[in-house]
Chain A
Amino acid sequence: MALRALRKLKFTTRYSQSILNAEVSKNSLKCFAAYSTQEGDYADIVISGGGMVGAAMACALANNNLLKDKRIILLEMDRDKGDFVLSEKYSNRTCALSPATARLLSGFGAWQEIQSLRYHPVLRMQVWESCADAMITFNNDDMTEALAYIVENDIILAGIMKALKSFKDRVEVRYQAKATSYSNIDSQSVSSTKLPYVEMTLNDGSKLRTKLLIGADGMNSNVRKTAGFHTINRDYGQTAVVAILELGDTTQNNTAWQRFLPTGPIALLPISSNLSSLIWTTTTENSKHLLDIPSESFVDAVNDALWHEREKNQIAGQALSVFRNLLQNVFPESQEQCRQLPPTAINVVEKTRASFPLTLIHSSQYVKPRVVLIGDAGHRLHPLAGQGVNLGFGDVECLNEILTKAVQNGADLGSLTHLLEFETQRQRHNVPVMATIDGLQRLYSTDFTPLVLIRALGLHAVHSLPVLKKFIISRASV
């Protein structure tokens, strides 16, 4: 009797719950009804991690008409921050967003949100080094189109989250939620082929099943570790020092500067007409020293790193001038732009100095049955070219396309057949970028004369041959 009464009670509560849902929206009724079958909740796609890449993935999927009847859940560890309030102060964590990323973000309205907050275009880029006179500049024709946009990380995230809120009936965002354990995630275990879904237990104890788990949970990805993805790690033994610098004597602050020093590159990215974001990669000891010294000494150290000539290599300098004359004769039309002098820092904005260690992490695979890694979860690289986050957004665009095709073919969203295509496409793009950046990092971390010579001549050759340069710009902006 008691049991029956209990069962009845259980039934009534469930029933009233569903009625409640029905009042919320017709759509959600459909979803709720279809999924609340047995053990726990069900979603077609679960995105783990609501950072920039994870939230952008959610937006891209929500904006995809073909996925309109799919249930998508985004798990975010943080709490809901509510409406973003733009602070007067600039944040020291910035990204260089490529035009391709801006196109992706504007596809679902996030770029427009970012534009309404704060961003700064880069029209020109100059790269040079401390050991030789070789340098290279990049700019699009007429200096009208931006090469990249410098945006603070919290503004990028706020813009994407605001766009995501406009899709609130399409994506369910669960704040302060994360999976504490997964099952069926490792393809080695027997059960994964038995049950066609991934099951996870959340921190509130509830269970969630999904056809496709997207791991966007950053460089220390829990999804990657649990699913047993093989990774390649490299600790560069370097630390990045970041700060916001006030520049003197700039009229239009729209050039990104990067100088290679044997200890690592120093870069200045423009974020307003007189402020630039500093990303200075250096040895760990030096970084500690840079954080400790007073502001005036820090500014002096920055200017010294940008301007000093004491590492100049005589042999490389002579060889370069010979090579320059030679090129001028062989290709008379080749460009020889005048060198712009780097800016001078006059002040460092208070409390913006910080540091973080640098590592390279690359997962040999991005996909397993029902699991896919995107963004830093699959690949984290040296911040040298500002490519990291753009590769992540590239993953978002590619995965969205692949899932569209899968839905059109009626395929299971988590099926490996099309996920492998994502992996192939992305590795074809990401691995060369990572290898180039890793190689550049090694090439410039020495003052050994033959290497200085090679890189100086190579850089100059690229700089003087417009065809080669155009190719690099187009590759870097994809």
Chain B
Amino acid sequence: MIVQRIINISRLGNNVYKLSLICSSRYNNNYNSTTVSRPHHDLVFNRLYRVQIGCQYHTKTKSDCHIQTSLINGIKIIDCAISLTQFRHYSSSQKTEKIDENAPKNQRPKAQTTIDEEEVNKFASQSSLWWDEGGEFEALHSLNELRVPLIRDALVSKKSLAQYNIASPLEGFWILDVGSGGGILSEPLARLGASVIGIEASEENIKIAQAHLIHDPKIRDRVKYIQSTVEDIAETQAGKFDAVVASEVLEHVSEPQTFVSSACKLVRPGGSIFFTTLNKTRLSYALGIVAAENILRLVAPGTHDWNKFVSPTDLQKLLDDNKFITKLIHGMWYNPISKRWSWSKDTSINYAIHAVKPIVEGNADIWKEQSPLTV
């Protein structure tokens, strides 16, 4: 989506503005003749501002018109000639460019709205790998029954009752899904109202995730997948996210220390970080590798390397080093017969950890004044 023209801006409250925009889309012809109207969307278009836009996008031509006026109703618009999804995620156009510079030159813009139909079809056939619920990633699908409520309940507790919308409890939260894969966790979080950015190292996985996402009109504008790593975006996006989730990722990371500190950097003061991973115990070797990979074939052999596993105490230590406060550590058990997960006191195989970044003097954050959602 490209912003063509801003029709009107009205001020709703302290640093909250309502923008009415006309946008054009880069979709193929199918999309060109449709009218999409979207009354409420959160946009972060400057770190200082959280902007609500009410926009009507409709396309007449395929050409992208750049906006001429930059001053409407006395409010200066920094740059509107960038795609909406990028516009939403980065503080300014300069930063957007910065990220693009790091990326390979021949690569397409990464916003999911710019994927073309051909690629959707190509990757849709591969998406069965990730999205077949009885397939290879069955355990990840059913893990949603534990991790989604964990994230939901931890974040929702920060909202006041008046702000709580039962149908989309995570509305207004920005979540970074580290290692988003095929989007198994990103999509449910977006369905709960959160704006999700999934980062993933594999380009193929990103395309699979996008090809699947595009069929869900309700959430496809709230999720964006970026080919990147935590370390890469830690600098530019520091302190941007209400929550950072690294689910079933840590056990694949070679340098957990850097990984954890980068992930921590991305969390805004007052925000949360979540990990789910495998413990480094004899039992986790016996069950997590020998049984799950070689005997029961729950996951492909060679998926996990026991030496990379991190114990909860080590992880908590890493979080302490980054001045995070650990809120809970829960064990998780997988029943291979019922194929369901359940919470447990025993953290010796799988466990989940939730920690928060305290708000302290010095980092007294801008969100505190600007965002209506900050505690």
Q: Does B164 contact A (CB under 8 A)?
A: no
How distant is A103 from chain B, measured CB to nearest CB, in Å? 23
A18 to B217 alpha-carbon distance, docked (Å):
17
Report chain A residues within 8 Å CB of B192. Answer: 410
Is the CB–CB distance between B34 and A14 below 8 Å? yes
Report chain A residues within 8 Å CB of B148. Answer: 409-411
How distant is B190 from chain A, measured CB to nearest CB, in Å? 7
A417 to B144 alpha-carbon distance, docked (Å):
10
Residue from the list B58, B131, B134 in contact with A15, Cβ < 8 A: B58
Report chain A residues within 8 Å CB of B128. Answer: 193-194
Report chain A residues within 8 Å CB of B141. Answer: 415, 417
- Stretch from A35-43, A174-182, A354-362 contacting the other chain: A35-43
Q: Does B82 contact A (CB under 8 A)?
A: no
From known contacts A33-B37, A33-B38, A37-B31, infer whether A409 and B131 are also in contact, taking CB-CB under 8 Å. Answer: no
Residue from the list A37, A193, A195, A412 in contact with B217, Cβ < 8 A: A37
How distant is A469 from chain B, measured CB to nearest CB, in Å? 34
A369 to B132 alpha-carbon distance, docked (Å):
9
Is the CB–CB distance between B34 and A36 below 8 Å? yes
Is the CB–CB distance between A416 and B134 below 8 Å? yes
Q: Does A475 contact B (CB under 8 A)?
A: no
Report chain A residues within 8 Å CB of B133. Answer: 369, 415-417
A161 to B31 alpha-carbon distance, docked (Å):
37
Question: Contact size class for B?
Answer: 35 or more
Which residue of chain A has its CB nearest to the CB of B124? Answer: A194
Is the CB–CB distance between B217 and A34 below 8 Å? yes
From known contacts A33-B37, A34-B218, A411-B188, infer whether A194 and B125 are also in contact, taking CB-CB under 8 Å. Answer: yes
Is the CB–CB distance between A18 and B37 below 8 Å? yes
Report chain A residues within 8 Å CB of B88. Answer: none
Q: Does A337 contact B (CB under 8 A)?
A: no
Which residues of A, 372-421, contact B by the 8 Å Cβ criterion? 407-412, 415-417
From known contacts A14-B33, A37-B31, infer whether A409 and B215 are also in contact, taking CB-CB under 8 Å. Answer: no
Which residue of chain A has its CB nearest to the CB of B58? Answer: A15
- Stretch from A63-71, A265-273, A292-300 contacting the other chain: A63-71
A190 to B121 alpha-carbon distance, docked (Å):
13
Is the CB–CB distance between B167 and A69 below 8 Å? yes
Which residue of chain A has its CB nearest to the CB of B133? Answer: A416
Is the CB–CB distance between A196 and B58 below 8 Å? no
A35 to B35 alpha-carbon distance, docked (Å):
10
Q: Does B289 contact A (CB under 8 A)?
A: no
Chain B CB within 10 Å, residue with most, of A8, A11, A66: A11
Is the CB–CB distance between A409 and B144 below 8 Å? yes
Is the CB–CB distance between B167 and A65 below 8 Å? yes
Is the CB–CB distance between A68 and B60 below 8 Å? no
Which residues of B, 181-195, contact A by the 8 Å Cβ criterion? 187-192
Q: Does A29 contact B (CB under 8 A)?
A: yes
How distant is B55 from chain A, measured CB to nearest CB, in Å? 11
* Contact bitstring B149-184, A, C-beta under 8 A = 1, else 0: 100100000000000001110000000000000000
Number of A-B contacts (CB under 8 A): 103
Residue from the list A30, A38, A369 in contact with B39, Cβ < 8 A: A30
A196 to B142 alpha-carbon distance, docked (Å):
17
A67 to B31 alpha-carbon distance, docked (Å):
28
Q: Does A351 contact B (CB under 8 A)?
A: no
Q: Does A7 contact B (CB under 8 A)?
A: yes
Number of interface residues of A (CB under 8 A): 40
Q: Does B145 contact A (CB under 8 A)?
A: yes
Is the CB–CB distance between A33 and B35 below 8 Å? yes
Is the CB–CB distance between B149 and A11 below 8 Å? no
Chain B CB within 10 Å, residue with most, of A15, A38, A197, A411: A38
Which residue of chain B has its CB nearest to the CB of A410? Answer: B188
A369 to B58 alpha-carbon distance, docked (Å):
34
* Contact bitstring A56-94, B, C-beta under 8 A = 1, else 0: 000000000111110000000000000000000000000
From known contacts A69-B167, A417-B133, A417-B144, infer whether A195 and B35 are also in contact, taking CB-CB under 8 Å. Answer: no
How distant is B105 from chain A, measured CB to nearest CB, in Å? 32
A478 to B190 alpha-carbon distance, docked (Å):
37
Which residues of B, 110-154, contact A by the 8 Å Cβ criterion? 124-125, 127-128, 131-134, 141-142, 144-145, 148-149, 152
Q: Does A310 contact B (CB under 8 A)?
A: no
Is the CB–CB distance between B35 and A18 below 8 Å? yes
Is the CB–CB distance between A38 and B30 below 8 Å? yes
Is the CB–CB distance between B144 and A38 below 8 Å? no
Is the CB–CB distance between B33 and A408 below 8 Å? no
Is the CB–CB distance between A196 and B35 below 8 Å? no
Which residues of A, 411-450, contact B by the 8 Å Cβ criterion? 411-412, 415-417
Residue from the list B37, B152, B166 in contact with A65, Cβ < 8 A: B166
Report chain A residues within 8 Å CB of B149. Answer: 408-409
Q: Does A308 contact B (CB under 8 A)?
A: no
Report chain B residues within 8 Å CB of A38. Answer: 30-31, 34
Is the CB–CB distance between B127 and A33 below 8 Å? no
Is the CB–CB distance between B142 and A417 below 8 Å? yes
A65 to B168 alpha-carbon distance, docked (Å):
11
A29 to B152 alpha-carbon distance, docked (Å):
28
A32 to B229 alpha-carbon distance, docked (Å):
37
Chain A CB within 10 Å, residue with most, of B60, B152, B168, B216: B216
A69 to B192 alpha-carbon distance, docked (Å):
12
From known contacts A195-B215, A417-B142, infer whether A34 and B36 are also in contact, taking CB-CB under 8 Å. Answer: yes
How distant is A289 from chain B, measured CB to nearest CB, in Å? 53
A68 to B166 alpha-carbon distance, docked (Å):
9
Is the CB–CB distance between B145 and A409 below 8 Å? yes
How distant is A208 from chain B, measured CB to nearest CB, in Å? 14
A30 to B41 alpha-carbon distance, docked (Å):
12
Report chain A residues within 8 Å CB of B168. Answer: 69
How distant is B195 from chain A, measured CB to nearest CB, in Å? 13
Which residue of chain B has its CB nearest to the CB of A69? Answer: B167
Is the CB–CB distance between A15 and B35 below 8 Å? yes
How distant is A3 from chain B, measured CB to nearest CB, in Å? 11
Report chain B residues within 8 Å CB of A22. Answer: 37
How distant is B175 from chain A, measured CB to nearest CB, in Å? 11
* Contact bitstring A8-52, B, C-beta under 8 A = 1, else 0: 101100110010001000100110011111110010000000000
How distant is B373 from chain A, measured CB to nearest CB, in Å? 19
A74 to B187 alpha-carbon distance, docked (Å):
26
Residue from the list B39, B142, B217 in contact with A35, Cβ < 8 A: B217
How distant is A7 from chain B, measured CB to nearest CB, in Å? 6
From known contacts A410-B148, A412-B187, infer whether A193 and B132 are also in contact, taking CB-CB under 8 Å. Answer: yes
Residue from the list B142, B166, B187 in contact with A66, Cβ < 8 A: B166
A409 to B184 alpha-carbon distance, docked (Å):
12
Residue from the list B31, B33, B36, B215 in contact with A196, Cβ < 8 A: B215
Which residue of chain B has its CB nearest to the CB of A32? Answer: B37
A36 to B127 alpha-carbon distance, docked (Å):
24
How distant is A9 from chain B, measured CB to nearest CB, in Å? 10
Is the CB–CB distance between A410 and B31 below 8 Å? no
* Contact bitstring A167-207, B, C-beta under 8 A = 1, else 0: 00000000000000000000000100111110000000000
How distant is B51 from chain A, measured CB to nearest CB, in Å? 20
How distant is A211 from chain B, measured CB to nearest CB, in Å? 8
Q: Does B212 contact A (CB under 8 A)?
A: yes
A416 to B34 alpha-carbon distance, docked (Å):
32
- Chain B residues within CB distance 8 Å of chain A: 30-39, 58, 60, 124-125, 127-128, 131-134, 141-142, 144-145, 148-149, 152, 166-168, 187-192, 212, 215-218
Listed by A's residue number, 10 A-B pairs whose Cβ atoms lie within 8 Å are A30-B39, A36-B35, A69-B168, A193-B128, A193-B132, A196-B216, A407-B167, A407-B191, A410-B152, A416-B133
3 A-B pairs closest in CB distance: A410-B188, A193-B128, A410-B191
Give 14 A-B pairs besides A22-B37, A66-B166 with Cβ atoms closer than 8 angstroms.
A8-B60, A14-B33, A29-B39, A33-B35, A37-B217, A67-B167, A193-B131, A195-B124, A196-B131, A409-B188, A410-B144, A410-B191, A412-B191, A416-B134
